[in-house]
């Protein structure tokens, strides 16, 4: 009996030592990651007033189509719970369109992107120093009350249309993630970004027939069914197939190509592309 109790205590001691070692390793790994994060932040500098235009920013509503749904790229700022549209500032030596293209390339990896400037947002409520201060503090930056990043910004809004399958979204330096969200599954967005999304969608719907040509939303060749799915995703409603096909062919914007054979028993549909020019 005494031997049994001794073995029990011995086993408990071994378990205790193992648990303590595991706890130590977890704490050590946490501090290692934290120090690495802080070191990374320490190597970076905030955008300077000398390099960028004060009080001027842009926000981008990046639409992508995955074959079924129209989705939008939304980023989440590090350790804040703030969700926002991808945006940025304009350098003093670059055009506004160039600044937006630069930001989109950094977030998507794409260089040839369909862009449309659709509205300027300049309400006094856009002054949100507490929000910006929280984002900066979460990334290891402390700024004075008169820092230019805490000022009110006029935002020029663009929407972009891209092929969902060609993109590997990349977060910026202040963000933890950037992901695709369906229109009816958007998280709560900071400041007036929800209003920006609604205005972009309203503009896109109003110009859909004219704007589809040259978009990056579809592959070069597509079926009439896929084109209809894009319309339905953007408009948020189902369309009658025969009416839609008659309308699209009557606009004289499509060029018909070979049939698309998939090996199935169904009748092969024709492939189409937008006419050049």
pLDDT digit string (tens) for 145-183?
A: 999 999 999 999 999 888 777 788 999 889 999 999 999
Q: Is 106 exposed, middle or buried (0-12, 13-18, 19+ CB in 10 A)?
A: middle
Is 0.85 topped by the overall pTM? no
Residue ranges, comma separated, of all CATH 3.90.79.10 domains in the chain are 52-208
- CATH 3.90.79.10 for domain 52-208: yes
- pLDDT over threshold 50, residue 25: no
CA distance 26 to 258: 60
**Cα–Cα distance list, 125 to 84, 122, 273 (Å):** 16, 8, 44
Helix-helix angle 193-206:224-235, to 10 degrees: 130
Q: What is the pLDDT of residue 39?
A: 40
Contacts of 124 (CB under 8 A, 6+ apart): 152
Residue ranges, comma separated, of all CATH 1.10.10.10 domains in the chain are 219-274
pLDDT digit string (tens) for 170-218?
A: 998 899 999 999 999 999 999 999 999 999 999 988 878 776 655 667 8
Q: What is the pLDDT of residue 162?
A: 84
Q: Where is average pLDDT lowest: 81-85, 93-97, 258-262?
A: 258-262
Q: Are strands 114-121 and 175-182 parallel, antiparallel or unpaired?
A: unpaired
CA distance 209 to 227: 11
- 85 token code pair: 């549209």
Asked if 91 contacts 159 with a C-beta cutoff of 8 angstroms, the reply is no
H, E, C per residue of the chain: CHHHHHHHHHHHHHHHHHHHHHHHHHHHHHHHHHHHHHHHHHCCCCCCCCCEEEEEEEEEEEEEECCCCEEEEEEEECCCCCEECCEEEEECCCCHHHHHHHHHHHHHCCCCCEEEEEEEECCHHHCCHHHHHHHHHHCCCCCCCCCHHHCCCEEEEEEEEEEHHHCCCCCCCCEEEEEEEEHHHCCCECCCHHHHHHHHHHHHHHCHHHHCCCCCCCCCCEEHHHHHHHHHHHHCCCCCHHHHHHHHHHCCCEEEEEECCCCCCCCCCEEEEECCC
Task: Place 27 in a pLDDT band, splitting at 50, 70 and 90.
Answer: very low
User: Considering only the top CATH level, what class is 219-274?
Assistant: mainly alpha
Comparing CA positions, the residue from 236, 220, 225, 83 lying closest to residue 165 is: 220
Q: Is 74 exposed, middle or buried (0-12, 13-18, 19+ CB in 10 A)?
A: buried
pLDDT digit string (tens) for 134-143?
A: 999 999 999 9
């Amino acid at each position: 009996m005494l031997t049994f109790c001794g073995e029990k205590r011995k086993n408990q001691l071994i378990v205790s030592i193992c648990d303590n070692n595991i706890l130590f390793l977890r704490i050590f790994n946490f501090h290692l990651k934290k120090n690495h994060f802080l070191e990374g932040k320490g190597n970076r500098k905030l955008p300077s007033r000398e390099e960028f235009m004060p009080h001027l920013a842009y926000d981008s509503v990046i639409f992508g189509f995955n074959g079924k749904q129209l989705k939008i790229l939304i980023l989440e700022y590090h350790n804040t719970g703030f969700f926002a549209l991808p945006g940025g500032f304009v350098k003093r030596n670059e055009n506004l369109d160039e600044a937006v293209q630069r930001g989109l390339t950094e977030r998507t990896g794409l260089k040839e992107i369909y862009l449309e400037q659709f509205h300027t947002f300049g309400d006094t409520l856009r002054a949100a120093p507490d929000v910006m201060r929280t984002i900066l503090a979460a990334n290891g930056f402390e700024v004075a009350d008169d820092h230019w990043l805490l000022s009110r910004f006029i935002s020029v809004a663009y929407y972009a249309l891209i092929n969902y399958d060609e993109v590997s979204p990349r977060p910026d330096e202040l963000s933890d993630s950037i992901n695709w969200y369906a229109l009816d599954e958007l998280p709560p967005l900071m400041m007036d970004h929800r209003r920006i999304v609604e205005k972009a969608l309203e503009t896109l719907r109003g110009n859909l027939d004219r704007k589809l040509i040259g978009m990056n939303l579809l592959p070069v060749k597509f079926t009439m069914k896929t084109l209809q799915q894009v319309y339905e995703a953007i408009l948020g409603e189902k369309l009658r197939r025969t009416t839609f096909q008659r309308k699209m062919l009557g606009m004289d914007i499509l060029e018909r190509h070979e049939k698309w054979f998939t090996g199935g028993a169904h009748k092969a549909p024709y492939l189409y592309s937008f006419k050049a020019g």
